[in-house]
Chains A and B, each alone.
Chain A
Amino acid sequence: MSRQGGRGTESKKMNSELFTLTYGALVTQLCKDYENDEDVNKQLDKMGYNIGVRLIEDFLARSNVGRCHDFRETADVIAKIAFKMYLGITPSITNWSPGGDEFSLILENNPLVDFVELPDNHSTLIYSNLLCGVLRGALEMVQMAVDVKFVQDTLKGDSVTEIRMKFIRRIEDNLPAGEE
């Protein structure tokens, strides 16, 4: 009997509701711990950053994409491969700035926010801020400094969720002091 190979190549199915509920529990616990929406947003961003710097390795290993030559290619890879792989959605890319260094990702439905309704006392909470951190952390590991923020959010009443990504600069490897 031959063994089926490649346990690592088959995708492990998980119930998306469990994922959504887990994220929801995380955010509400942070809200109880910090009591201040700004702090919660910062924490979510930090957590997302930590996830992103690790997730990028998994992504590059699984997707086999090569180096991106410009920011547009990066945008395509993020929207069509990365989001599809991890969240199962494909956002669309719009609103390129004239310099080609800023664009928007439009998500019609965000699996993190299924069933969620923001109460009135948390109106400045950016619920999905973890995603911003993940994108920032992951791109930093491939030598790109970016600024990521939410422009529209379905939880706040907008029709779609829009994430704005801005390229800041390429990160050069810092030579340690004392070396030529």
Chain B
Amino acid sequence: MAVCIAVIAKENYPLYIRSVPTENELKFHYTVHTSLDVVDEKISAMGKALVDQRELYLGLLYPTEDYKVYGYVTNSKVKFVMVVDSSNTALRDNEIRSMFRKLHNSYTDIMCNPFYNPGDRIQSRAFDNMVNSMMMQVC
């Protein structure tokens, strides 16, 4: 269960960012913003030689004392960043990967919507529902 999910465009501005609980939103925005540096570092570290073998899933970007941040980059340089609670140790790598895969699938569905212009903020009900299902339930 994620605490914050963000979709960042190729030019590094946010297309979609949602966090729960909704107070302290600014802290999550800041975390996602700083994680972009780590993402860029990982992409460039792969180097030009390995571009074919570069995996989309980047893995753990960096841990803080409360949270862990995971990243995923598509071939069109759209980044997905996910912040999860550190106390939730039951989350395995496989689960994170499958969550990113679901995000990626929903993102491609949105791209296929003829009314969506690439580069706009994402305002799709289907995407919201899918993200809600992945967020932590807060009573």
Whether A115 lies near B115 (C-beta < 8 A) is no
Whether B115 lies near A119 (C-beta < 8 A) is yes
Interface size class of B (residues with CB under 8 A): 10 to 19
Whether B115 lies near A122 (C-beta < 8 A) is yes
Chain B 65-89 near chain A by CB (<8 Å), digits 1 or 0:
0000000000000000000000000
Question: What total count of A-B pairs have CB within 8 Å?
Answer: 31
Residues of A within 8 A of B123 (CB): 119
- Closest A residue to B123 by beta carbon equals A119
Majority DSSP secondary structure for residues of A touching B: helix
Whether B112 lies near A21 (C-beta < 8 A) is yes
Interface size class of A (residues with CB under 8 A): 10 to 19
CB proximity of B128 to chain A, nearest CB, Å: 11
In whole angstroms, how far apart are the Cα atoms of A12 and B124 in the complex?
34
B109 close to chain A: CB less than 8 A: yes
Chain A 47-59 near chain B by CB (<8 Å), digits 1 or 0:
0000000000000
Residues of B within 8 A of A28 (CB): 114-115
Residues of A within 8 A of B94 (CB): none
Residues of B within 8 A of A23 (CB): 114
Chain A 118-137 near chain B by CB (<8 Å), digits 1 or 0:
11001000000000000000
B113 close to chain A: CB less than 8 A: yes
Whether B114 lies near A17 (C-beta < 8 A) is no
Q: Which of A17, A21, A114, A116 contacts B115 (CB 8 A)?
A: A116
Residues of B within 8 A of A117 (CB): 113, 115-116, 124-126
- Closest B residue to A17 by beta carbon equals B112
Residues of A within 8 A of B126 (CB): 117
In whole angstroms, how far apart are the Cα atoms of A62 and B112 in the complex?
32
